[in-house]
Amino acid sequence: MRLIHGTPHFRPYTSAAGGWGSAHSVMNILWREQAFIKGSAALIKQNKPKGFACVSCAWAKPGDPHALEFCENGAKATAWELTSLRTGPEFFQSHSVTELRGWTDFDLEQHGRLTHPMRYDTQSDRYVKTTWDEAAAAIGAQLKALSPDEVVFYASGRASLETSFMYQLFARAYGTNNLPDSSNMCHESTSVGLQESIGVPVGTVTLADFEHTDCILFFGQNVGSNSPRMLHPLQEVRKRKVPIITFNPIRERGLERFVNPQSPVEMLGPKSTAISTQYHQVAIGGDTAAIMGVAKALLEMEARAQACGGPAVLDHDFLAQHTEGFPHFVEQVQRYSWDDLEQRSGLTRSAMEATATIYARSEKVMIVYGMGMTQHRHGVGNVQMLVNLLLLRGNIGKPGAGICPVRGHSNVQGQRTVGITEDPAKVPTDKLEALFGFTVPERKGLTTVDTCEGILDGSVKGFIGLGGNFLRAVPDTTRMEPAWARLRLNVQIATKLNRTHLIPGEHTWLLPCLGRIEIDRQLGVEQAYTTEDSTGCIRAWRGNAEPASDQLRSETTIIAELANAALGDSVGVPWLRWRHDYALIREAISKVYPEIFHDFEARMWEPGGFHRPLGATHRQWATPCAKARFITPETLDEDDDVSKGETGRNVLQLMTLRSNDQFNTTVYGYDDRFRGVKGTRKVVFLNRNDIVRLGFAPGAWVRLRTAIEPEVRREVGPFQIIAYDIPEGCAASYYPESNPLVPLWHYAKRSKVPAAKSVPVIVLHAQPDADDLDHAVPDTDQIM
């Protein structure tokens, strides 16, 4: 079943990000989801005090919001949740699970919101209606029969602080630290890297810093699609003539030009704002070398300044007083010749010097970054190199400066703050034990990659998913699916049907929950809940739309009831009472984390919320040496995997990306407007010289095969080649379609984030599937 498409085509996108294209795209999805009236009413309250928090990304919302405080993709996420379409018991009666496995990600979710609790029935191969009581009792009994270390409690990053706190308490009271989450595939390289370097696991920049900064460096983050509300502060910054220097293998539209779709003047006039003042198309995985190059240029400038008695380029006072490891960093930088650095980064010496010149001239520099840095074998090293660059001129711990990881899911940072982590050393276990009268298990739990390994080897037998689409988001999906089917217990708390729900285990339950935009009434009282954004800002929200079905329960209620069924009153957590009044959960949170959450109930309603305290923002470094640390990678070329497989010039580095029409595994449509792609996702972007050199032509159908560990066949396709402005030796295709290419073991050292941005691949000739021919693209040669 295919619901949309139109004729696919590729045409270079020449307009700015935002603008009429964005407005048009929002109208389209509101109509398609039949959510025009409900959706439009909701959008007015999006990201407003007493309104609801956008369910899309984690970018900060201002305390004094604009009249319409949402972006194109936030509006799509709202329409997606408020859709009038439903996936109820009749739907499951008409479609077997085997049949549904043949549906696309788009078609599955497009069918609308789940409405009833469902149980998988093996005999009929269908989901059948069940009751909440039956589900809770059966799941509770299964959990009692399994040993705690065999069960995994996964969290995608949307659930509120209240739900997340309760969820980790449930897992730990049950007896395990198996609490993997989506950040294990995302910004874990940040949590590990920043903690080691500056003593905090999160970014130091707040929205206010954008008002003071005088230079922004932007690495590997696609702001136009993935955090478009940030385009507003960026536009303000550009109006002050502040330089923005971007490092990205491809020229992302949102990083080039922007028209604010909410400004009538800009929409009707010819003007757009140029975002990046320098744009460096670094090779995939070449950032460490590029930053080394910038540092090398700075050291050379410093030497010249010293020789002629000019003002210092580096902040020597800061380096002496606040840092450790600077001499070793200098040694390492000096080890590399400009030739080495040019070759590894794919940039010219003059590009790196041009960055250094602006950097040296600026007093308050911030660095913004995303998955282009963290999802590499050397993801942690990448993050630490960004810190090293900032430390050279004291750019952490003063207004307008700092490090700014752009988080993904809207509460992914917050769920970690309240204890969702596999590492018990990161939670105040003494407080949990004193308050709730149970012993927190000492053994470290499983991360996402560990969980996959456990599923493959059979040691993980039970899985509870608090949101997400685990089996589609993880690496090596072709290997994972058959193993997943051996799970004894599979419980999925979700809003829409996705592929993870369609590989049932022995006992499988699909539990539909309220979305964040919906009113959550408990004993007649509308509940509020809280989230933490990418800038460490915590605030309260309330849903404002009527629920999609009267059968839906809040995530908090569902967890309380499962915990009660599995544990009863064997621990001192009043699960059932908490379910009815979320203020009680907040009270518990503030007892466990008083430094962050004191006076929680009052402060959460402050306009703009409140910030969690972060030592690094006032130069108190919670590292073992009480200083900020230069941590320098020992080599530029840490990704030595290529030597383990195919070698030579036919191996390309593949990055797996999001289109402008998806939220992770949720596919809103088949267009990637800013990259000029319409009507298809089955494409691979290649440099024209590589296409010719490898004996292909634009528009050719190919398969991609992983070029490491050749004994395991990892392949995807057929995809069509698009000739694109991407560095030679690099390739790009869409996530999650290309996840089967990422070997499970191919993850960032130390953080275990799958290296989804550097997969060595080779390209093979292929025939299109019959179905694909209907959607073949006539004009693939036209792009860029």
Ligand X SMILES: Nc1nc2c(c(=O)[nH]1)N[C@H]1C(S)=C(S)[C@@H](COP(=O)(O)OP(=O)(O)OC[C@H]3O[C@@H](n4cnc5c(=O)[nH]c(N)nc54)[C@H](O)[C@@H]3O)O[C@H]1N2
The residue ranges that bind ligand X (CB under 6 A) are 56-57, 73, 109, 156, 158, 182, 185-186, 219-222, 225-227, 247-250, 252, 282, 284-285, 287, 370-372, 375, 406, 408-409, 466-470, 473, 493-496, 498, 513, 515-516, 555, 655-658, 662-666, 735, 739, 742, 756-757
Query: From the CB of 725, what's the least distance to ligand X, in Å?
Result: 11
The sign of the torsion formed by the CA atoms of 421, 378, 736, 709 equals negative
Nearer Cβ to Mo ion (143/186): 186
Query: From the CB of 656, what's the least distance to ligand X, in Å?
Result: 4
Distance from C-alpha of 199 to C-alpha of 323, rounded to nearest angstrom? 12
Which residues, 6 or more positions from 462, have their beta carbon under 8 angstroms from its beta carbon?
142, 143, 146, 150, 151, 152, 487, 488, 489, 490, 491
Which listed option, ligand X, Mo ion, none, makes contact with residue 554 (CB within 5 to 8 Å by class)? none
Query: From the CB of 186, what's the least distance to Mo ion, in Å?
Result: 3
Which residue in 334, 335, 400, 331 sits closest to 362, CA to CA?
400
Q: Residue with structure tokens 């499983």?
A: 446
Which listed option, ligand X, Mo ion, none, makes contact with residue 284 (CB within 5 to 8 Å by class)? ligand X
Nearer Cβ to ligand X (220/505): 220
Which listed option, Mo ion, ligand X, none, makes contact with residue 249 (CB within 5 to 8 Å by class)? ligand X
Which listed option, ligand X, Mo ion, none, makes contact with residue 556 (CB within 5 to 8 Å by class)? none
Nearer Cβ to ligand X (210/610): 210
Query: From the CB of 17, what's the least distance to Mo ion, in Å?
Result: 21
With H, G, I as helix, E, B as strand and everything else as coil, classify residue 155. strand
The answer to whether 527 touches 65, Cβ cutoff 8 Å, is no
Nearer Cβ to ligand X (178/227): 227
Which listed option, Mo ion, ligand X, none, makes contact with residue 301 (CB within 5 to 8 Å by class)? none
Nearer Cβ to ligand X (248/323): 248
Query: From the CB of 182, what's the least distance to Mo ion, in Å?
Result: 6
Which listed option, Mo ion, ligand X, none, makes contact with residue 498 (CB within 5 to 8 Å by class)? ligand X
Which listed option, Mo ion, ligand X, none, makes contact with residue 324 (CB within 5 to 8 Å by class)? none
User: Which residue's Cβ has the minimum distance to Mo ion?
Assistant: 408
Residue type at 309 in one-letter notation:
G
| In 72-157, beta strands by DSSP E | 86-87, 113-114, 118-121, 126-129, 151-155
Pairing of the two strands 17-18 and 257-259:
parallel
| Distance in Å from the first CA to the final CA of the chain | 33
Query: From the CB of 469, what's the least distance to ligand X, in Å?
Result: 4
| In 203-319, beta strands by DSSP E | 215-219, 244-247, 257-259, 273-274, 278-280
How would you label 545-561 residue by residue, b for 16+ Cβ within 10 Å and e otherwise? Answer: bebbeebbbbbbbbbbb
Distance from C-alpha of 506 to C-alpha of 495, rounded to nearest angstrom? 22
Tell me the H-state helices in 231-278. Answer: 231-239, 264-268
Q: Give the footprint of Mo ion on this chain (CB under 5 A).
A: 186, 408
Query: From the CB of 623, what's the least distance to ligand X, in Å?
Result: 26
Distance from C-alpha of 616 to C-alpha of 209, rounded to nearest angstrom? 14
3-state helix, strand, coil in the chain (%, to 5): 40, 20, 45
Nearer Cβ to ligand X (252/302): 252
Query: From the CB of 223, what's the least distance to ligand X, in Å?
Result: 7
Query: From the CB of 185, what's the least distance to Mo ion, in Å?
Result: 7
Nearer Cβ to ligand X (8/515): 515
Q: Token pair for residue 73?
A: 């993709």
Query: From the CB of 665, what's the least distance to ligand X, in Å?
Result: 3
Nearer Cβ to ligand X (291/330): 291
Nearer Cβ to ligand X (272/665): 665
Residue type at 503 in one-letter notation:
I
Query: From the CB of 517, what's the least distance to Mo ion, in Å?
Result: 21
Q: Token pair for residue 207?
A: 């929205």
Nearer Cβ to ligand X (531/632): 531
Which residue in 410, 409, 412, 437 sits closest to 169, CA to CA?
437
Nearer Cβ to ligand X (229/322): 229
Q: Token pair for residue 72?
A: 């194109």
Which listed option, ligand X, Mo ion, none, makes contact with residue 473 (CB within 5 to 8 Å by class)? ligand X
Query: From the CB of 29, what's the least distance to ligand X, in Å?
Result: 12
Q: Which long-range contacts (CB under 8 A, 24 or more apart) does 414-417 make?
A: 414/160, 414/161, 414/164, 414/530, 414/531, 414/532, 414/533, 414/538, 415/155, 415/157, 415/159, 415/161, 415/164, 415/181, 416/181, 416/183, 416/191, 416/201, 417/161, 417/532, 417/593, 417/596, 417/612
Which listed option, ligand X, Mo ion, none, makes contact with residue 763 (CB within 5 to 8 Å by class)? none
The answer to whether 232 touches 426, Cβ cutoff 8 Å, is no
Nearer Cβ to ligand X (8/512): 512
Which listed option, ligand X, Mo ion, none, makes contact with residue 258 (CB within 5 to 8 Å by class)? none
Which listed option, ligand X, Mo ion, none, makes contact with residue 158 (CB within 5 to 8 Å by class)? ligand X
Which listed option, ligand X, Mo ion, none, makes contact with residue 673 (CB within 5 to 8 Å by class)? none
Distance from C-alpha of 258 to C-alpha of 246, rounded to nearest angstrom? 15
